[in-house]
Chains A and B, each alone.
Chain A
Amino acid sequence: DAKTTQPPSMDCAEGRAANLPCNHSTISGNEYVYWYRQIHSQGPQYIIHGLKNNETNEMASLIITEDRKSSTLILPHATLRDTAVYYCIVRVANTGNQFYFGTGTSLTVIP
């Protein structure tokens, strides 16, 4: 069962930052927060993951609250190609365990 909750949909203006929230109040101490996105009719694409520190890569930033019960994925300058469904998943890293996907957030970037 999915252990995360996300808003079903969000809009963002092109060029602005997109902030996607995720609640994971039952996260365990050894579980990481992963973010994937799925563009229509494609496989999920890895974005970023983190344990407790904030993380940044070329795609996005991940902000995790101090109590680790929620996180925010930030796309700093959203483009039309960022329109996708974004999934927040918690899982123990490097274990090969399966992902259980929640319903995700459908992000629409508006011109």
Chain B
Amino acid sequence: GAVVSQHPSRVICKSGTSVKIECRSLDFQATTMFWYRQFPKQSLMLMATSNEGSKATYEQGVEKDKFLINHASLTLSTLTVTSAHPEDSSFYICSATGTSGASRGEQYFGPGTRLTVT
């Protein structure tokens, strides 16, 4: 089946620094990737939709200058949390949509990245 990986799985950073999270589709090409954020005991909240080769579309209330998304290839999207603060501490999850075959149009989720800002 289609596999999506995220790196790192956990990261701790100091307040004011930037953190980059990678999302990769390992065995399929993904024209579209999504980024979600999940706070403790809450549901997943969609942050943005990332299309390969174009600018990301952000959900209402998500600061595009703070959460930089790059989708430079059909297998990689990155989320950079700039000038991170403790309130950005959360579980970040990506998903990818396949372009062809059995994975076309279906969405596969990564294992998530736990970000802790101290």
B interface SS class: strand
Q: How far is the CB of B74 from chain A (nearest CB, A)?
A: 13
Q: For chain A, give the interface size range.
A: 20 to 34
**In residues 67-118 of chain B, which contact A (Cβ within 8 Å)?**
91, 93, 95, 97, 104-112, 114
Name A's B-contacting residues (CB within 8 A): 36, 38, 41-46, 87, 93-96, 98-104
Number of interface residues of B (CB under 8 A): 25
Instruction: Choose one: A41, A94, A99; the contact of B104 (CB below 8 Å).
Output: A94
Q: Are A41 and B44 in contact (CB under 8 A)?
A: no
Closest B residue, CB atoms, query A100:
B46
Q: How far is the CB of A42 from chain B (nearest CB, A)?
A: 6
Cβ contacts under 8 Å, B106 to chain A: 93-94
Q: Are B109 and A44 in contact (CB under 8 A)?
A: yes
Q: Are A87 and B43 in contact (CB under 8 A)?
A: yes
